[in-house]
Structure formats: C-alpha cells, structure tokens
C-alpha cells in the first residue's frame, strides 16, 4: 500500500464540503485513502487559514451580482465536552436557546440572489478574553474591509442583512456611510428615532 500521503488544504476542504454529518479527523482518515488519523491531526495543528486567505481562495469562484447581499451571522460550535480546548468559553447558542460551552465564529457571507449561491468571504473567531473584541467589533472590522477601495471595486452588493444582535447604531451608520442599505430585525425593547 505504501506510505500515507501528506494531508493538504485542498483535500481537507473538499472533505469538509462533501460531508454533511461527520467532520471529525477519524472520519476523514477512515473515508479517504492513504490518510492516517495522526496525519490529519498534524495537518490541522500546523495549518491556519486566515480571513484574508479565505477571500483569496474564494474570490475566483464568487459570481457577483449588482443585487448581491452581504450577510453577517454568528454561530457557536458546541464543545460542551471539551475541557482544555483553546477559545472554548460559555456563550449563548441560538440553536440550543441556552448558554453552552462552545467556540464562537462570526461570518460574512456573500449571496447572489439570482443564482441562489453563497460564499463565506470573511470570518472572525469570537475570543474576547484574547483580543478584547465583541461580536459587534468583529462585524465593524469586516465592514471596514468591505468598504476599502479595492474591495468596493471588486465586490458588488446592494444590501447588508444581519441578525438582531447587530442592529446597533454604529453598524447601521457604517453601512449607510458606505452607500448601502441594511435590513435587520429590531428587538421590541429598543427605541427608534427616525430623522431626515
């Protein structure tokens, strides 16, 4: 059979895109020829896909539309059984409707409503103990990148969609200053002032 091959980013990303149920290292090693479990673990420990690299990898595949949308959302990966994993903390999970131990990720997704396709174009790990940033801070960072001159020229969209969590004045004003619309639900206990 020969020596196991080295795990690479392309093969691992293909696995993540193809599997719908189990994304563990063991499952990957058991279902892809020539990859041992420990080779997958070594690869994951050594590889880091930064937010800038995500855009570089995704850019050639994005089908742009003048009617495009940007979606900001966050999710919590359930890690309730992990006691020593970095970045795991107690936080609210919308899926569970309660606080759980998990790893938070804030994502920026581009949607082409004409083709009904979407692509993750940016992300941030929610780790306030490490970087002192809130989820709102992360969205503002991603908006800053979206409205940079180079990004404005190559990424067309008309509206930003976001959850109630991001319905705050600083985000809304930043989107309006960028010449875009936004749409988000607002909690019933918020006060709105409409001005001309």
Burial string for 89-100 (b: 16+ CB within 10 Å, else e) reads bebebeeeeeeb
Q: 51-183 maps to which CATH number? A: 3.90.350.10
Give phi and psi for 141, each to the nearest 5: -60, -45
The pLDDT of residue 73 is 92
pLDDT tens for 100-131 read 788 888 999 999 999 999 998 999 989 898 89
Q: Domain residue spans in the chain?
A: 9-46, 51-183
The pLDDT of residue 136 is 95
The pLDDT of residue 50 is 80
The pLDDT of residue 101 is 84
- Whose CA is closest to 172, among 151, 112, 164, 131? 164
Instruction: Identify the burial level of 76 via C-beta atoms within 10 angstroms of its C-beta, where 0-12 means exposed, 13-18 middle and 19 or more buried.
Output: buried
Rounded average pLDDT per 10-residue block, the chain, 196 residues = 61 67 70 68 72 82 93 85 76 77 89 93 90 94 87 83 90 93 84 66
Which residues make Cβ contacts (< 8 Å) with residue 75, sequence separation at least 6? 94, 95, 104, 105, 107
Q: Crossing angle of helices 135-146/169-177, nearest 10°?
A: 0
The pLDDT of residue 26 is 72
Instruction: Provide the 10 A C-beta neighbour count for residue 32.
Output: 16
């Amino acid at each position: 059979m020969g020596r196991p091959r080295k795990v690479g980013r392309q093969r691992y990303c293909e696995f993540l895109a193809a599997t719908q149920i189990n994304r563990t290292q063991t499952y990957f090693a058991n279902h892809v020829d020539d990859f041992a479990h420990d080779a997958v673990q070594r690869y994951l420990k050594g590889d880091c896909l930064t937010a800038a690299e995500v855009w570089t990898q995704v850019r050639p595949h994005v089908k742009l539309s003048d009617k495009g949308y940007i979606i900001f959302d966050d999710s919590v990966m359930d890690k309730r059984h992990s006691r020593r994993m970095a970045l795991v903390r107690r936080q609210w999970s919308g899926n569970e409707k309660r606080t759980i131990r998990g790893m938070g990720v804030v994502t920026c997704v581009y949607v082409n409503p004409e083709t009904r396709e979407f692509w993750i174009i940016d992300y941030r790990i929610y780790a306030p103990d490490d970087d002192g940033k809130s989820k709102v801070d992360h969205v503002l960072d991603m908006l800053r990148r979206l409205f940079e001159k180079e990004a404005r020229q190559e990424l067309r969209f008309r509206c930003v969609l976001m959850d109630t969590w991001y319905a705050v004045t600083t985000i809304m004003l930043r989107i309006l200053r960028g010449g875009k619309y936004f749409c988000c639900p607002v909690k019933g206990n918020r006060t709105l002032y409409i001005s001309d």
